Homo-oligomer: A and B are copies of this chain.
Amino acid sequence: MDTIKSIGYPIYFSDSLGQLANFIKQSKYSRFFILTDENTGKHCLPLLNEKLAGMENFDLIEINAGEESKDIDFCIGVWKMLIDFGADRQSLMINLGGGVVSDLGGFAASTFKRGIDFVHVPTTLLSQVDASVGGKTGIDIDSIKNIIGTFTQPKAVFIEYDFLKTLPARQILSGLAEMLKHGLICDSGYWSLLKASDLKKPAPELVYYSVEIKNKVVIEDPKEMGIRKSLNFGHTVGHAVETYSLLNDGGKALSHGEAVAIGMICESFLSHKKAGLSADELEEIVNVISGLYPKYSISEDIFAELYTYMQKDKKNQNGKINCTLLTQIGQYSIDHVCTEDELYESLKYYTKIQYATFR
């Protein structure tokens, strides 16, 4: 697996932590700040420390694990720590963690003193195949995901497969949703490969292919003016369900991938209704997803609430809800305006699917 070239920066796959140590040794940064959460601080930081042994000037900023840490209040906390530590413009931020760490750390760095450099060391499958590539940073306000952010590229990304080995199954499933999405929107061959693989433990090659697909998309359209919208498949409904769950389910909230899995079923239904996706392919998608993910109970009473979250989606224009749909497996189509009724119908469709397990 070669190093992938993204927008002005490399994505390393082989001996990634060694590459990070080289990157730091060869750099001229004055100071280094490692942003972690309590989990990566425990499970991943020791491995990093081993590789960086003997190097100086590292300061640690630890946040709580979980989406709640992406709130603006926590971002202010990170900024204040950078101030207190005396971070200057020649400092480097090293984001060691999942998507929360890379989104928040990327945003905090890209705005601190009008921008300091940062690199990502993604430690979850989700952040390896999604958040770490593409230059999106973001934080939440009032639980509205990534409502504030920048497009700022990291200086490098270091993808260490070994970090995945200790991840709980639910975390693997969360990243898997984005991998399935990559196949569905762009690459039917990759979709077939995924179907035929052991998806409880995705092989390194599958991670690599996903990053390659995502990278191709974002290189063509860094600021989401066109093709990059393809990556939003499953996310219009998915983000709404995720926001709802985050506000209502406490410690049992859906993971990002679990919510996107629901979103992909709803938006595949809409794809069948509005964009030409065949009934067979709809069924195939539903079978794969419902075979992997537990069912989430969505009562009709909350459809209206979900709809208000969809209305706040960044992709909308003139208050209309804008979905990316599939014309077939491996082929997306952007800018489908979906009505309230259509979205409700898609949610009803989801609730009627037969699942092996219920949560």
Complex copy number for this chain: 2
Q: Does A170 contact B (CB under 8 A)?
A: no
Cβ distance A74 to chain B, nearest Cβ, rounded Å = 13
A142 to B83, CA, bound (A): 10
A316 to B223, CA, bound (A): 32
With A111-B150, A113-B147, A149-B114 as contacts: A141 and B317 at CB distance below 8 Å:
no
Q: How many residues of A contact B (CB 8 A)?
A: 39
With A114-B150, A148-B112 as contacts: A83 and B312 at CB distance below 8 Å:
yes
CB-contacts of A117-147 with B (<8 A): 136-138, 141-142, 144, 146-147
Contact A88 B318 (CB under 8 A): yes
Residues of B within 8 A of A136 (CB): 114
From the candidates B88, B111, B142, B316, name the one contacting A149 in the complex (CB within 8 A): B111
Q: Does A110 contact B (CB under 8 A)?
A: yes
Residues of B within 8 A of A149 (CB): 111, 113-114
A147 to B83, CA, bound (A): 9
A88 to B316, CA, bound (A): 7
A149 to B110, CA, bound (A): 8
Q: Does A314 contact B (CB under 8 A)?
A: yes
Query: Chain A, 60-86, contact with B by CB distance < 8 Å: what is the 0/1 string?
Result: 000000000000100010011001001
Cβ distance A84 to chain B, nearest Cβ, rounded Å = 10
The interface of chain A, by Cβ under 8 A from chain B, is: 30, 72, 76, 79-80, 83, 86, 88-90, 107, 110-115, 136-138, 141-142, 144, 146-151, 223-224, 311-312, 314-319
- The 9 lowest CB-CB distance pairs between A and B, nearest first, are A113-B314, A114-B149, A111-B148, A30-B318, A88-B317, A114-B151, A88-B316, A90-B317, A79-B141
